[in-house]
């Protein structure tokens, strides 16, 4: 097991040194400080090889994604990421693999000034668990439970590309090479909407990041907020790559149920709409209004202003929960 | 994967509700608060089935141990544990297994008023990663790096019992039934020295918890503090069960190199010795002085006041690192 001890050296070479980290990697615990007017947000996500990423995924993409899915949760709370702890289980020690994995982890950490403060390295089937923390002004955080009837429903970026890449991997969909490149990048290197999340803190009534699929995650907001929603299918943002390679119905299915988008889904009341759109104009992502919250406690969809039925595991999951 | 979603219900039934947890399980992140005069300590440990516990280990013991090894790290910093995040990867959903596992997790959490604030449940080979956090007055925490030449070396509890149980499991040592019961309990249900750690905060110059073995972890203190140490082998605390079933040399080998003890190893200078012993008298564990720190930068051992050579992977690991 000695070689597993030595892996720690890979994780001490990071560039980020935050002032609020009093003691970093190398003791029984890390020690951090927060100021009196801050709250701390905490999230944990595990990626298992073959379950959360295809077995052939590059180590850099695995490292990036393990950090990104956690920062995406921090973004959905409107917080600023600060520290991560990394637990990695590896079948064997491979220096090249680790070096590439670390470059994926540290590039994203450096971009957002996030410091790796500790973790654990163990031998076993490949999996990565990251606990990420972030800071937010006291009492100022977004949650899933604040959506009100009449609020507008927005989403960042385009939806469905990661799901398209995944279906291509499973050989369920054949797509052209230039399309693959774009959607593969969306699957492997999702961009957590960290700046958008912080900008939304003052304006959104509820927020979540889309990991399970638009309908499933909208279901989580509706359930937590005790409301319903209508989604305008013609408004769902789709990438050019998606539009080129898939017909409208398949595109919308991927966007509604695919998941792995790591875009933010959020609600804003009428009074905050203009302020939010202005604030988000510098957050590095387009936003699209895709519907509205209503009191129905169900999710409906419309196309060309006409109601259309939903075929979706995401929605069934939500409605099943509502009926218990 | 729907059944994996439902597992979350098992984790929402905890009794602990801390005031500093503003938002618990169920959103994208938990939200916690700390007061202005506190630091936060953070640690992460993974247990992999077949690596960190034998495959036949009871689910309750797995749950207990996953929490205990993390609280032990918090104790070694002199901090008070507050919150844990739990990532569990399971090959399949089994309600009885989960229920027992949770009882192991929650019994220990309730005892120390620690709240489970979130986590992740995924499908794959059995492993558990916990990130635990604790609180300590600002700037008041123990580390591995404060030991000074002349400081006395102490340890809580008895050493080697968990290693004896493990060797019995591997069928390398045969022991009697009443002995098995005692040492198996030490292996499966280690008691993190949380109260002792907090009591030590004012007195110890350095501390670590013994997970890798006495010599290896003493090596970590020596390396971080740039000192050496002498261990008096006749002073090492051994349980009656150990003494009954093993001769002195085998007992000491298990105590020096076995690991999995989760006792605290700490150093105290002469002036703090009496104060520390008084403070620790109510911390629920015996303490034993087993040696002294010196400036040699090596670890030596004595028996009947005579130097004896060390046979130990722990020490070799330490000395190998020192030589680079």
What's the number of CA atoms in the CB half-sphere (13 Å) around residue A137?
5
Helix axis angle, A214-225 to A248-257, nearest 10°: 50
| Secondary element (H or E) of residue A146 | none
Strand partners, B88: B121, B128
Which of A2, A5, A19, A27 to substitute to test the interface with B, most B CBs within 10 Å? A27
- Does residue A311 surpass a pLDDT of 70? no
B285 band by pLDDT with thresholds 50, 70 and 90: very high
User: pLDDT at position B2, please?
Assistant: 61
**B129 close to A (CB below 8 A):** yes
**B224 close to A (CB below 8 A):** yes
Q: Regarding beta strands A21-23 and A30-33, do their DSSP bridges make them parallel or antiparallel, or are they unpaired?
A: antiparallel
The tens digit of pLDDT for each residue in A131-173 reads: 999 999 999 999 999 999 999 999 999 999 999 999 998 887 8
Range with lowest mean pLDDT among A83-87, B5-9, B34-38, B42-46: B5-9
Strand partners, B30: A42
The complex's ipTM?
A: 0.92
A139: chain B residues, CB-CB within 8 Å = 22
- Asked if B209 lies within 8 A of A26 by C-beta distance, the reply is no
User: pLDDT at position B318, please?
Assistant: 29
The third-level CATH classification (topology) of the domain covering A2-137 is: 60s Ribosomal Protein L30; Chain: A; (3.30.1330)
Comparing B35 with B91, the larger pLDDT belongs to B91
Strand partners, B267: B153, B206
**B78 close to A (CB below 8 A):** no
Q: Closest approach of chain A CAs to the CA of B178, in angstroms?
A: 32
User: pLDDT at position A174, please?
Assistant: 81
The secondary structure of residue A53, as a DSSP letter, is B
Pick the closest to residue B217 from B286, B267, B176 (CA basis): B267
Burial A237-275, CB ≥16 within 10 A → b, else e = bbbebbeebbeeeebbbbbbbbbbbbbbbbbbbeebeee
Catalogue the E-assigned strands of chain A.
21-23, 30-33, 38-48, 80-90, 115-123, 127-137, 152-156, 204-209, 228-232, 264-268, 287-294, 299-303, 306-308
The tens digit of pLDDT for each residue in A268-306 reads: 999 999 999 999 998 989 999 999 999 999 999 999 999
Q: Where are the domains of chain B?
A: 2-137, 152-323
For A64-71, what is the mean pLDDT?
98
B233 band by pLDDT with thresholds 50, 70 and 90: very high
- Asked if B5 lies within 8 A of A317 by C-beta distance, the reply is yes
Is residue B223 within 8 Å of residue B323, measured between CB atoms? no
What's the number of CA atoms in the CB half-sphere (13 Å) around residue B306?
2
Residue A9's contacts (CB-CB under 8 Å, 6 or more residues apart) are none
B52: chain A residues, CB-CB within 8 Å = 122
Q: Closest approach of chain A CAs to the CA of B216, in angstroms?
A: 12
| Distance between CA atoms of residues A181 and A13, nearest Å | 31
For B26-49, what is the mean pLDDT?
93
Nearest residue, CB atoms, B30 vs list A29, A41, A129: A41
For B204-215, what is the mean pLDDT?
97
- Does residue B323 surpass a pLDDT of 80? no
Catalogue the E-assigned strands of chain B.
21-23, 30-33, 38-48, 80-90, 115-123, 127-137, 152-156, 204-209, 228-232, 264-268, 287-294, 299-303, 306-308
Q: Closest approach of chain A CAs to the CA of B90, in angstroms?
A: 11
Q: Could you tell me the two tokens for B262? A: 């989760």
**B82 close to A (CB below 8 A):** no
Is residue A187 within 8 Å of residue A291, measured between CB atoms? no
Integer CA distances (angstroms), B317 to A2, A12, B230, B314, in order: 8, 19, 17, 5
B144: chain A residues, CB-CB within 8 Å = 26-28
User: pLDDT at position B178, please?
Assistant: 87
Which of A129, A130, A140, A196 to substitute to test the interface with B, most B CBs within 10 Å? A129
Integer CA distances (angstroms), A165 to A91, A162, A259, in order: 27, 5, 11
CATH architecture of B152-323: Alpha-Beta Complex (3.90)
Is residue B263 within 8 Å of residue B197, measured between CB atoms? no
Q: Using CA atoms in the order A274, A277, A278, A281, what is the torsion angle rounded to 10 degrees?
A: -170
| Distance between CA atoms of residues B168 and B165, nearest Å | 5
């Amino acid at each position: 097991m000695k070689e597993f001890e030595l892996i720690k050296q890979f994780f001490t070479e990071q560039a980020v040194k935050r002032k609020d980290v009093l003691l970093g990697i190398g003791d029984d615990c890390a020690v951090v400080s927060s100021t009196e007017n801050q709250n701390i947000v905490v999230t944990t996500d595990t990626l298992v090889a073959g379950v959360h990423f295809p077995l052939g995924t590059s180590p850099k993409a695995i490292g990036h994604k393990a950090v990104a899915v956690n920062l995406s949760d921090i973004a959905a709370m409107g917080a600023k990421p600060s520290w991560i702890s990394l637990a990695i289980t590896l079948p064997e020690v491979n220096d090249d693999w680790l070096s590439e994995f670390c470059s994926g982890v540290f590039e994203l950490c450096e971009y957002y000034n996030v410091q790796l403060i500790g973790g654990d390295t163990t031998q076993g089937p490949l999996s990565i668990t990251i606990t990420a923390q972030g800071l937010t002004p006291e009492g100022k955080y977004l949650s899933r439970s604040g959506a009100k009837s009449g609020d507008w429903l927005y989403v960042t970026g385009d939806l469905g590309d990661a799901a398209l890449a995944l279906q291509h991997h499973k050989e369920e969909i054949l797509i052209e090479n230039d399309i693959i490149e774009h959607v593969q990048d969306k699957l492997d290197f999702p961009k957590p909407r960290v700046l958008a999340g912080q900008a939304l803190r003052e304006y959104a009534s509820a927020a979540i990041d889309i990991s399970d699929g638009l309908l499933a995650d909208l279901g989580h907001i509706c359930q937590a907020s005790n409301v319903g929603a209508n989604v305008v299918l013609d408004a769902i943002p789709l990438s050019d790559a998606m539009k080129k390679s898939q017909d409208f119905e398949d595109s919308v299915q991927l966007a509604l149920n695919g998941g792995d988008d790591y875009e933010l889904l959020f609600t804003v009341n009428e009074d905050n709409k203009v302020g939010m759109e202005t604030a988000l104009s510098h957050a590095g992502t387009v936003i699209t209004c895709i519907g509205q919250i209503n009191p129905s406690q169900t999710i409906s969809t419309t196309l060309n202003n006409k109601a259309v039925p939903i075929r979706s595991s995401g929605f069934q999951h939500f409605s099943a929960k509502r009926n218990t």
